[in-house]
Amino acid sequence: MSNPKKTAPAVLVVEDDEPLLRFVTQALRMAGYEVTTAHSAAEARTHLGEHAFDLAIVDIGLPDADGVEFGHSLMAEYALPYIHLTGQTEAEAYQRAARGGALTYLIKPVGMEQLIAAVETAVSRSSEMGKLLKSVERLSSDFEDRKSISIAVGIVMERFGLSDSEAFEVLRYLARSHQERLEATAERLIAGGGGLDLLISLNRYLSKIDGASRKPRG
């Protein structure tokens, strides 16, 4: 049984110099990368709306945008890491690129080996950044879920005069009876959703653990 084919990293090259664009495209494709080209920021945005990329190579001197600002927008709007390819050699240009968030900065004319080495390093860092972002998003989601559950437990405690452990068990009972995640039940309680069926379930559960119904407050 053969192993599944590994997907080639996808690179978006934004460069208005046609000979250089052809060189970069050919070099990357020979190295095994999937390449999409754009001659302007506007054309690049069209591609970004249609495809997902692992890395962008952005010329600083684009015809319709400041390359540094456009590169920064790639990270801010698309979480897409990028490197700059430019003929500018001034220290100020390098500093702007670094402050903007570029992974690296290549000076034209660039050799094939230098280009491929820079792209390999950038793609590797891009993958690490992607994993980190997913981890942060997951932690953020977990935190929001825990916060919702905590608020819902407080609502049940107040309404039915229960301890926190009893209120949590009520919430678990409700989730099981409605065949939904605990977080979803918590969100419904917070939003005031669920109505009478939730209150009926609460009273049934309270009857089981206490032997008698407890009258809700207010």
138-173 tens-digit pLDDT: 655 666 667 777 877 777 776 767 777 777 877 888
The strand pairing partners of 82, in sequence order, are 56
Residue 174 · residue 201 · CB < 8 Å: yes
Residue 157 is predicted with a pLDDT of 74
Q: What are phi and psi of 114, to 5 degrees?
A: -65, -40
Type of residue numbered 60: I
What local confidence, expressed as pLDDT, does residue 88 receive?
78
In this predicted model, what pLDDT tens digit does every residue of 23-76 receive, in sequence order? 999 999 999 999 999 999 999 999 999 999 999 999 999 999 999 999 989 988
What residues contact residue 15 under an 8 Å CB cut-off, 6+ apart?
A: 21, 24, 37, 38, 39, 57, 58, 59, 85
In the β-sheet with 34-38, what is the strand arrangement from edge to edge?
34-38, 10-14, 55-59, 82-86, 105-107
Pairing of strands 55-59, 34-38: unpaired
Tokens for 68, please give them. Answer: 């540094």
What gap in Å lies between CA 49 and CA 44, rounded to an integer? 9
Domains of the chain: 10-110 (3.40.50.2300), 141-210 (1.10.10)
Give CA–CA dist 83/101, Å, rounded.
9
Q: Contact, 202 vs 213, CB < 8 A?
A: no
